[in-house]
Chains A and B, each alone.
Chain A
Amino acid sequence: MNATSEQRRSFSRRGFLGLTAAAAAAPLLAACGGGSASQGGGGGAGGTIKFWDMPWATPAYNDAAKGIAEGFSGANGAKASYQIIQWNNFYQTFSSAIASKTGPAVSTGGGFQAFQFEQQGQIAYADKVIDKLKANGQFDDFLPGVLDPFKSAKGYVAVPWQLDMRVFWYRKSLFDKANVALPTDWPSLLEAGKALKKVGAFGFTTGAGAGNNYANHSMIMMMVNNGGGVWNKDGELDLMNDRNVEAMEFVLELVSNGIIDPAAVSYTTDNMSAQWKDGKAGYGLFQVNVPQRVGDTSGDLMVADPITGPHGDKATIVFPNNIMMYTNTPSQDASEEFLVYYLGQLKQLWQKKLMSALPVFKSITEMPEFANDPNNVKIVKEWQPIAKTFAAQGSTLNANLAALDGGQALNQFSQTIITGKADAKTALQTFQSGLESVLKK
Chain B
Amino acid sequence: MSSTTTQSGLARARRGVAPGGTGTVPGKRKSKLSAQATRTFFWLLLPSVVLLVLIHGYPLVYAAVQATHDGDLLQTGNFVGGQNFATVLTSPAFWKAAQFTLWFTIVGVFGSWLVGLGLALLLRTKIPGGGTFKVLLLLPWVVPIVVSSTAWNWLVATPDSLIPSLFRNLGMGTPLFLADPTLAAVTVMVFKVWVSFPFMMMMISAALASVDTTVYEAASMDGASRWQQFTQITLPLIARSTYISWILMTIFCVNDFPTIYLLTGGGPVNATTSLVVLAYRTVFQDFATGPGVAIAFLMTMTLVVISVILYRQIRKSSVE
Residues of A within 8 A of B (CB): 13, 16-17, 20-21, 23-24, 28, 89, 91-92, 95-96, 98-99, 116-117, 120, 122, 208-212, 261-268, 270-271, 274-275, 278, 280, 402-403, 406-409, 411-412, 415-416, 419, 421, 438
List the one stretch of B11-19, B44-52, B123-131 in contact with chain A: B44-52
Instruction: From the candidates A17, A89, A266, A406, name the one contacting B268 in the complex (CB within 8 A).
Output: A266
The interface residues of chain B lying within 8 Å CB-to-CB of A209 are 157, 178, 264-265, 267
Do A17 and B73 have beta carbons less than 8 Å apart?
no
Do B157 and A407 have beta carbons less than 8 Å apart?
no
Complex-state Cα separation, A270 to B284, whole angstroms:
23
Given A263-B159, A266-B176, A271-B158, A120:B50 Cβ within 8 A: no
Do A24 and B47 have beta carbons less than 8 Å apart?
yes
Do A266 and B44 have beta carbons less than 8 Å apart?
no
Do A92 and B284 have beta carbons less than 8 Å apart?
yes
The interface residues of chain B lying within 8 Å CB-to-CB of A412 are 269-270
CB distance from A127 to the nearest CB of B (A): 24
Q: List 7 A-B contacts (CB under 8 A).
A: A89-B284, A99-B74, A210-B267, A262-B176, A265-B179, A265-B268, A438-B287
Complex-state Cα separation, A332 to B298, whole angstroms:
44
Given A92-B284, A98-B74, A263-B176, A13:B40 Cβ within 8 A: yes
CB distance from B38 to the nearest CB of A (A): 14
Do A438 and B286 have beta carbons less than 8 Å apart?
yes
Complex-state Cα separation, A285 to B40, whole angstroms:
68
Complex-state Cα separation, A270 to B184, whole angstroms:
18
Instruction: From the candidates B43, B74, B158, name the one contacting A263 in the complex (CB within 8 A).
Output: B158
The interface residues of chain A lying within 8 Å CB-to-CB of B286 are 403, 407-409, 438
B234-283 contacts to A, CB under 8 A, are: 261-270, 281-282
Residues of B within 8 A of A (CB): 40, 43-44, 47-48, 50-51, 54, 72-75, 93, 153, 157-160, 176, 178-179, 184, 261-270, 281-282, 284-288
The residue in chain A whose Cβ has the minimal distance to the Cβ of B187 is A266
Interface of B (DSSP majority class): loop
The interface residues of chain B lying within 8 Å CB-to-CB of A98 are 74
CB distance from A230 to the nearest CB of B (A): 15
The interface residues of chain B lying within 8 Å CB-to-CB of A99 are 73-74
Given A211-B265, A438-B287, A120:B74 Cβ within 8 A: yes
Do B44 and A16 have beta carbons less than 8 Å apart?
yes
Instruction: From the candidates B75, B158, B269, B288, name the one contacting A419 in the complex (CB within 8 A).
Output: B269
Do A23 and B47 have beta carbons less than 8 Å apart?
yes
The interface residues of chain B lying within 8 Å CB-to-CB of A415 are 267-269
Do B281 and A408 have beta carbons less than 8 Å apart?
yes
CB distance from A212 to the nearest CB of B (A): 8
Given A209-B267, A415-B269, A408:B282 Cβ within 8 A: yes
The interface residues of chain A lying within 8 Å CB-to-CB of B287 are 91, 116, 402-403, 438
The residue in chain B whose Cβ has the minimal distance to the Cβ of A438 is B286
The interface residues of chain A lying within 8 Å CB-to-CB of B176 are 262-263, 266
